[in-house]
Structure 1
Amino acid sequence: MSLPFEIPPVPDGSARQSPFTPTFGAIPPLLADRQNLINDFAYALDSGPGARGRATLVTGTRGVGKSVMLRVFRDVVESRQWLTVSARATSGFVDRLTTARLPEALSKLDTANTTRTRLRGGSLSALGFGGSVNTESENTAPVTPDFHHQLIRTLEILDDHGTGLLLTLDEVHRSHLEELQEVADALSTAVADGAPFAFAAAGLPETINGLVNDDVSTFLRRAERVNLGNLSSAGAAVGLRVPIEAADKRIGDEALSAAVESSSNYPYLVQLIGDNAWRAAGSAEEIALDHVQEAAQDAKETMFRQIHEPTLASLPERERQYVAAVSASGGTARTGAVADRMGLSASHAGVFRDRLINRGVITSPRRGEVEFSIPYTADFLRSEQAKAGKTSTRG
């Protein structure tokens, strides 16, 4: 029976895979404009307990590479023969760290320290040779430890083995403040003890700013801040050209310039446009301008689904109105003009401005001005307005 669709043919051996990684958290083929951050973290690690940067908070808007930096930090510590324990900071993450992640790390090194062997039966001949012995392992610490106990115990054992531990938390959110407090308290103890550990957490600006400004813990307030932004134009160009050439294709100067411009130097868009352009080029040896133009249009639609919709859907009504007022000015606006459009005083509108900056939706490039942090936000809003207009016309 024939299928009501066409199955694409299996690629033959001549097909070359795209070198780009347009997947959240995946390390790109070339990590442009981030080497200094990697160097700083490695220096902190090598400088011993108490070094600035051994506790780092990574922040930035969606798509700038926060999860990527955590993965890179893990690679750095593993190059020093340290262990890593990682978790997404979703509900119950402290329990997962306590009962699964830390014991798993401990099991790699701690067999001799947590168990002992005792004689169950059998016989021993003279001088201990011959005979038979039955043994069993008995845990010497049968109590169920909390996170604080488990972490400190793990660090003590790792220290005995001449190694250390990196703990990373991704997608940190203030809705899990109690659990973050528990982790921060335990880490503060580890700092005071000079334990061999490092800590890195990633979250949106709203979350990280809240953790630092609120009275959550001295440990978090003193942590190093890494604010990831867009790439430089040169970084975006290198991030596109070098992987393409390393994978035995070429990209012309005009096509490269168009790709960089379309990406707005936004890290996720660099990967997305690169991947789309590679696919559009097919078996061609060179990625041309028309391939990039097709890639950029497809990338914009992907951005709408994966970045803009989840970012803007959760905004309260007044903040959405502020966003709409910025969009009416083309994506860059005077704060006074935004307040006028909303019918609010400058100080009242400023409350929503500050909230949106904390959420990573807008930024203030100059005093008295705001603009969108994420490329194509104005395009997305216009698209949504057009859809709403068509729906109301049909109604």
Structure 2
Amino acid sequence: MVARNNPFTPGFGQVPPFMAGRRYVIENIDDAFTNGPGDPNLTTIFTGARGTGKTTLLTLLADHAEEKGWVSARVSSVPGMLEDILQQAERSAANLLKSPTRVRLNSVGIGGVASLGWEYTNQTGADPNWRTRLTKLLDELESHGSGLVITIDELQSDFDEMVQVASVYQHLIAEGRRVSLLMAGLPYQVSRILNDRSISFLRRAARHHLTRIADDDIRTALLETIEGGGRSITDDALGTAVEAIDGFPFMMQLVGYRMWTQADNGTIDLPAARRGIGAAQYEMRTNILETTYMELSDGDLAFVEAMLPDEGPSSTSEIARRMGKSTGYAAQYRRRLLEEGVIGERGRGKVGFELPGWRTFIAEKLEDGF
């Protein structure tokens, strides 16, 4: 059973051939690339739990921007991000730029910790600051009718370079520059960033919280991906796969990938689907659920444990009663878990688990005393 030309993409940030359930968001931002300066969707923040497709969506939107004539700089929120933005933009726009920024090593430090010092200059020998260099880049791009899309993944709240990006970007927007800033991060990190007064400008950004995808959309994307790859799937196998995926984008790619490898011929039948689902569930547990669990506090776990008796959505007031705490106390952990993407709202005063397999996973953990 060899996976040949497997069309599913469970790898980090890879764009699948069929994107499930994000059409509205994609169309809005695609329109913004056409409309240009002034469209509010050019500044957008995506939040969601691990595996909800944030990185994939950023990658897809950057691809779409380039198809519309924009240049993209795709970076993560890590030290060196400012220089990475310029270097990635210059690389993407190599066919347009006349005088790219030049870089040379100007110092080497040794003394317990090795360090390198870099000097950035333009062809005149000047030493411009980051805003000046970015503005010069935008000038050249705009002379060719192009603009710059900056995508920042894995937003971190305690990160000084993010303050500089936001500050400079605010000035560029005020100048009517052809520039876009698309960002993605875990909900609690984004929440902390937006509460930072020094970058309060970002509170005006469009925001999209990525949650589960409707089963019908999962079914359609799963079927189109399989048939587009040259195979078929039986109805019972498709239904079983959709139920196991439970609206989770990463799980869809994982289940699809593993089912594909389990098929003996051109059709994915129920036994192949079940084998693939089992493999996917194991990977989901190790890649997503374990990591999420390790980040939860004792209070978070107490709140989650109080949800377990309910087969469906849980009432916050009932959770508080089971915890032996006030509703206000429970609400603090409700907010934390919502921000972390572990739970989602299910109507007024009610919540439910967002991660596929989480109920069984957390019940086992608590039973084992971990």
Question: Could you say whether these structures have the same fold, taking a TM-score greater than 0.5 normalized by the shorter chain as the test?
Answer: yes
How much has 1:269 moved relative to structure 2?
Answer: 1.0
Structure 1 pair 308/146, CA: closer, same or farther in 2 (3 Å)? farther
Match of 2:205 among 213, 223, 235: 223
Checking the alignment, whether the CA contact within 8 Å between 1:147 and 1:183 is kept in structure 2 is: no
Work out which of the two has the higher radius of gyration on C-alpha atoms and give 1 or 2. Answer: 1
- Deviations 1:149-179, CA, capped at 9 Å, x for gaps: 2221211111122211111100002121x22
How much has 1:337 moved relative to structure 2?
Answer: 2.5
The match for 2:88 is 101
1:22 matched to 2:10? The reply is yes
Checking the alignment, whether the CA contact within 8 Å between 1:331 and 1:378 is kept in structure 2 is: no
How much has 1:306 moved relative to structure 2?
Answer: 0.6
Checking the alignment, whether the CA contact within 8 Å between 1:52 and 1:223 is kept in structure 2 is: yes
Q: TM-score, normalised by structure 2?
A: 0.88
The match for 1:301 is 282
**What one-letter code is carried by the residue in structure 2 that aligns with 1:243?**
T
Checking the alignment, whether the CA contact within 8 Å between 2:90 and 2:100 is kept in structure 1 is: no
- Correspondences of 1:241-390 after superposition (within 5 Å): 241-281=223-263, 283-330=264-311, 332-388=313-369
**What one-letter code is carried by the residue in structure 2 that aligns with 1:381?**
I
How much has 1:328 moved relative to structure 2?
Answer: 4.3
The match for 1:75 is 63
Q: Distance in 1 between matches of 2:41 and 2:253?
A: 28
The match for 1:46 is 34
SS of equivalent residue, structure 1 residue 169: strand
The match for 2:147 is 164
How much has 1:51 moved relative to structure 2?
Answer: 1.3
Checking the alignment, whether the CA contact within 8 Å between 2:259 and 2:268 is kept in structure 1 is: yes
Q: Percent same amino acid at aligned positions?
A: 30
How much has 1:139 moved relative to structure 2?
Answer: 4.6
How much has 1:253 moved relative to structure 2?
Answer: 1.0
Moved more, 191-200 or 210-219: 210-219
The match for 1:212 is 194
The match for 2:107 is none
SS of equivalent residue, structure 1 residue 162: coil
Aligned residues: 352
Q: Point out where structure 2 has 5 or more consecutive residues left out of the alignment.
A: 103-120
Checking the alignment, whether the CA contact within 8 Å between 2:156 and 2:193 is kept in structure 1 is: no
Q: TM-score, normalised by structure 1?
A: 0.83
Match of 1:31 among 14, 19, 22: 19
Q: Distance in 2 between matches of 1:247 and 1:145?
A: 51
Q: Distance in 2 between matches of 1:189 and 1:92?
A: 21
Moved more, 212-221 or 55-64: 212-221
Checking the alignment, whether the CA contact within 8 Å between 2:71 and 2:89 is kept in structure 1 is: no
Structure 1 pair 103/248, CA: closer, same or farther in 2 (3 Å)? closer
Checking the alignment, whether the CA contact within 8 Å between 2:237 and 2:269 is kept in structure 1 is: yes
Q: Distance in 1 between matches of 2:169 and 2:340?
A: 27
Checking the alignment, whether the CA contact within 8 Å between 2:21 and 2:214 is kept in structure 1 is: yes
Q: Distance in 1 between matches of 2:177 and 2:280?
A: 46
Q: Point out where structure 1 has 5 or more consecutive residues left out of the alignment.
A: 1-8, 116-137, 390-395
Runs of 4+ residues over 4 Å off in structure 1? 105-108, 112-115, 386-389
**What one-letter code is carried by the residue in structure 2 that aligns with 1:143?**
A
Structure 1 pair 165/342, CA: closer, same or farther in 2 (3 Å)? same
- Deviations 1:3-34, CA, capped at 9 Å, x for gaps: xxxxxx9x6xxx73221111121111211222
Match of 2:44 among 48, 56, 60: 56
How much has 1:324 moved relative to structure 2?
Answer: 2.2
Checking the alignment, whether the CA contact within 8 Å between 1:151 and 1:186 is kept in structure 2 is: no
The match for 1:125 is none
Checking the alignment, whether the CA contact within 8 Å between 1:211 and 1:221 is kept in structure 2 is: no
Structure 1 pair 252/102, CA: closer, same or farther in 2 (3 Å)? closer
- Deviations 1:291-322, CA, capped at 9 Å, x for gaps: 22222222221111111111120122211221
**What one-letter code is carried by the residue in structure 2 that aligns with 1:277?**
M
How much has 1:70 moved relative to structure 2?
Answer: 0.7
Structure 1 pair 387/54, CA: closer, same or farther in 2 (3 Å)? same
How much has 1:114 moved relative to structure 2?
Answer: 7.2
Checking the alignment, whether the CA contact within 8 Å between 2:155 and 2:184 is kept in structure 1 is: yes
Moved more, 86-95 or 21-30: 86-95
- Superposed CA RMSD in Å reads 2.3
